[in-house]
């Protein structure tokens, strides 16, 4: 195994112990967690929709220890963020070294070597398909989406953007207008920005036959924005050839194709970018989440001829913060040194195991995904939520998505042993819920 993968595992064993993971020693939530949750209720924005009472204190690799000393196996990675496992030593060292040298200096106004180095590394990852690229660094996926809408409108001089039902692109007003995964995310915040149209995800011909015919001429469309595998919408893999159809439409009409790879990117699906599966080259590729192993960082990576906006057109105080950039460079080292390959190999065998489980467990209606982005569909939303909660009680962290799915998105450094442990708990949890439901 690669030396960059091994330390995560060793560190896990060294610092949190191998004794037993999961290891639940209190009722959940435990007494300390309960007191923290009570304080939270008094002062934290109630817009945060917590899914179960997990109060993490420290973590290594795939192991999370809560404030009461309970240990959980993490199949969430902080929603597809902790791509290299928690507190990977290579990432820690990069953060520490950069913090000692320079924590912040605004990249919008001055030149930061680490910012430039990261842009070079990111541009190199897309060069084979997209050609020469330029990069803008932001703090969050939402900001990358906002920037991409601006860039597409600026470049084309056109107003409209096409997104898809089930999409999640963030919650600021522009990104929220594109988001169409749950109506409650949008409700109460209108009016949304003008010029956005939605199409069914994965449906061939719809844009041509419906949107271009009845709603917007293609010459008014600046961009089509698509998740190569839909994330919050349910870990939905589109039918083969559909992304190619979007690429063709964009070529035909001079529309910018934006791949929102905030969740699928940085190795999650077993290749650096999920677009690579279908050999699709977007004009703009957005990255975030797993890019910096948990430090806030996102990127707008655009073909050089597209990213031609002039000084002052876009900027950010914190975007491309040096410490986040250093964490991202270390993350890319780990990803390219074996973690992406690990995601592809382990993801494929986990998908096969879950397919087998589906044949034994009737409550599972479908299993789909790529690499370590796997969705399990259940008979109902209630069933999916009950499995999520049961897994938590048994020490496995998973999260629902879409209408009635459970997502599996562990760190890409996961070992076969950890997969076996997680699968075992998941299987038992599903059986327990099925027994109660029967
Ligand atoms: N785009 C996609 C595909 C996402 O999954 C998300 C978050 O889940 C976002 C954008 C928004 O990213 P952030 O929460 O970092 O703003």
Domain layout of the chain by residue ranges: 9-87+338-437, 106-320
Ligand 1 pocket check for 140: Cβ under 6 Å: yes
Strand-pairing partners, residue 64, are: 59, 72
Asked if the model's pLDDT at residue 9 lies above 50, the reply is no
Q: For the chain, what is the mean pLDDT?
A: 95
- What phi and psi, each to the nearest 5 degrees, are found at residue 375? -110, 140
Name the burial class of residue 158, with classes exposed (0-12), middle (13-18) and buried (19+) by CB atoms within 10 angstroms of its CB. buried
Four-way CATH pick for 106-320: 3.40.640.10, 3.20.20.370, 3.40.50.300, 3.30.2350.10:
3.40.640.10
Q: What angle do CA 317, 46, 30 make, to 5 degrees?
A: 105
Cα separations in angstroms, 107 against 100, 314, 320, 352: 18, 12, 7, 45
Ligand 1 pocket check for 146: Cβ under 6 Å: no
Asked if the model's pLDDT at residue 187 lies above 50, the reply is yes
The whole-angstrom separation of Cα 261 and Cα 168 is: 11
Neighbours of 120 (CB within 10 A): 11
Asked if the model's pLDDT at residue 7 lies above 70, the reply is no
Mutate to test the pocket of ligand 1, among 51, 181, 230, 231 (most ligand atoms within 8 A of CB): 231
Ligand 1 pocket check for 68: Cβ under 6 Å: no
* Ligand 1 center–CA 193 separation, angstroms: 18
Mutate to test the pocket of ligand 1, among 225, 289, 402 (most ligand atoms within 8 A of CB): 289
Q: Whose CA is nearest to atom 14 of ligand 1?
A: 141
Residue 434: band (very low, low, confident or very high) from pLDDT cuts 50, 70, 90:
very high
The whole-angstrom separation of Cα 78 and Cα 51 is: 12
The whole-angstrom separation of Cα 372 and Cα 408 is: 7
Residue 437: band (very low, low, confident or very high) from pLDDT cuts 50, 70, 90:
confident
Return the pLDDT at 438: 83
* Ligand 1 center–CA 142 separation, angstroms: 6
Ligand 1 pocket check for 268: Cβ under 6 Å: no
Name the residues annotated as catalytic.
Answer: 168, 260, 289
Asked if the model's pLDDT at residue 341 lies above 70, the reply is yes
CATH architecture of the domain 9-87+338-437 equals Alpha-Beta Complex (3.90)
Ligand 1 pocket check for 142: Cβ under 6 Å: yes
Asked if the model's pLDDT at residue 329 lies above 80, the reply is yes
pLDDT, one tens digit per residue, over 284-319 is 999 999 999 999 999 999 999 999 999 999 999 999
* Ligand 1 center–CA 339 separation, angstroms: 22
Residue 15: band (very low, low, confident or very high) from pLDDT cuts 50, 70, 90:
low
Q: Whose CA is nearest to atom 5 of ligand 1?
A: 263
* Ligand 1 center–CA 384 separation, angstroms: 22
Return the pLDDT at 14: 55
Look-up: residue for tokens 């699906």?
A: 269
* Ligand 1 center–CA 180 separation, angstroms: 13
Return the pLDDT at 2: 67
Contacts for 265 with CB less than 8 Å, ≥ 6 apart: 272, 273, 274, 285, 286, 287, 288, 289, 290, 291
DSSP 405-426: EEEE---TT--HHHHHHHHHHH
When pLDDT is averaged across residues 364-375 and rounded to a whole number, the result is: 98
% of the chain at pLDDT higher than 90 = 95
Asked if the model's pLDDT at residue 421 lies above 70, the reply is yes
Residue 10: band (very low, low, confident or very high) from pLDDT cuts 50, 70, 90:
very low
* Ligand 1 center–CA 141 separation, angstroms: 5
Asked whether the beta carbons of 226 and 259 are under 8 A apart, the reply is yes
Biggest distance spanned by C-alpha atoms of the chain? 64
Ligand 1 pocket check for 136: Cβ under 6 Å: no
Mutate to test the pocket of ligand 1, among 51, 139, 142, 236 (most ligand atoms within 8 A of CB): 142
Return the pLDDT at 20: 79
Ligand 1 pocket check for 232: Cβ under 6 Å: yes
Ligand 1 pocket check for 174: Cβ under 6 Å: no
Nearest Cα residue to 235 out of 432, 378, 74, 59: 378
Indicate the length of the chain as a whole number: 438
pLDDT, one tens digit per residue, over 212-226 is 999 999 999 999 999
Look-up: residue for tokens 């629902």?
A: 400
Asked if the model's pLDDT at residue 263 lies above 70, the reply is yes
Contacts for 139 with CB less than 8 Å, ≥ 6 apart: 296, 297, 298, 316, 318, 319, 321, 324
* Ligand 1 center–CA 295 separation, angstroms: 14
Nearest Cα residue to 340 out of 259, 272, 253: 272
Ligand 1 pocket check for 231: Cβ under 6 Å: yes
Q: Whose CA is nearest to atom 1 of ligand 1?
A: 169
């Amino acid at each position: 195994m690669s030396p960059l993968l091994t330390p995560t595992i060793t560190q896990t064993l060294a610092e949190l112990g191998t004794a037993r993971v999961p290891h639940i020693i209190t009722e959940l939530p435990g007494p300390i967690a309960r007191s923290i949750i009570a304080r939270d209720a008094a002062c934290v924005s109630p817009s945060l929709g917590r899914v179960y009472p997990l109060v993490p204190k420290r973590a290594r690799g795939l192991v999370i220890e809560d404030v009461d000393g309970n240990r959980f196996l993490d199949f969430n990675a902080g929603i597809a963020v902790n791509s290299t496992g928690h507190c990977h030593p290579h990432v820690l060292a990069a953060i520490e070294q950069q913090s000692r040298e320079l924590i912040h200096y605004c990249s919008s106004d001055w030149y930061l070597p680490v910012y430039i180095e990261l842009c070079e590394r990111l541009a190199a990852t897309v060069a084979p398909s997209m050609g020469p690229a330029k990069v803008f660094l932001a703090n969050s996926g939402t900001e990358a989406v906002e920037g991409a809408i601006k860039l597409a409108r600026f470049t084309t001089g056109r107003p409209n953007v096409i997104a898809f039902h089930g999409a999640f692109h963030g919650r600021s007003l522009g990104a929220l207008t594109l988001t169409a995964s749950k109506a409650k995310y949008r409700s109460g915040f209108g009016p949304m920005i003008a010029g956005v149209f939605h199409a069914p995800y994965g449906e061939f011909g719809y844009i041509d036959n419906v949107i271009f015919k009845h709603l917007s001429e293609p010459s008014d469309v600046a961009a089509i924005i698509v998740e190569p595998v839909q994330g919050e919408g349910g870990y939905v893999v589109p039918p083969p050839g559909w992304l190619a159809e979007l690429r063709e439409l964009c070529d035909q009409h001079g529309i910018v194709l934006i791949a929102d790879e905030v969740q699928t990117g940085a190795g999650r699906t077993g290749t650096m970018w999920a677009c690579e599966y279908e050999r699709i080259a977007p004009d703009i590729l957005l990255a975030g989440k797993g890019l910096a192993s948990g430090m806030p960082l996102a990127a707008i990576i655009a073909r050089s001829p597209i990213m031609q906006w002039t000084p002052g057109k876009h900027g950010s105080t914190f975007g491309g913060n040096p410490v986040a950039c250093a964490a991202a460079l270390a993350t890319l080292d780990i990803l390219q040194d074996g973690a992406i390959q690990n995601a592809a190999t382990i993801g494929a065998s986990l998908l096969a195991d879950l397919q087998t489980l589906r044949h034994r467990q009737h409550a599972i209606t479908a299993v789909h995904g790529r690499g370590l982005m796997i969705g399990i569909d259940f008979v109902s939303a209630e069933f999916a939520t009950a499995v999520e909660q049961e897994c938590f009680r048994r020490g496995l962290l998973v999260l629902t998505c879409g209408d009635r799915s459970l997502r599996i998105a562990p760190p890409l450094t996961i070992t076969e042993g950890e997969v076996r442990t997680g699968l075992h708990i998941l299987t038992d949890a599903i059986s327990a819920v099925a027994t109660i439901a029967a």
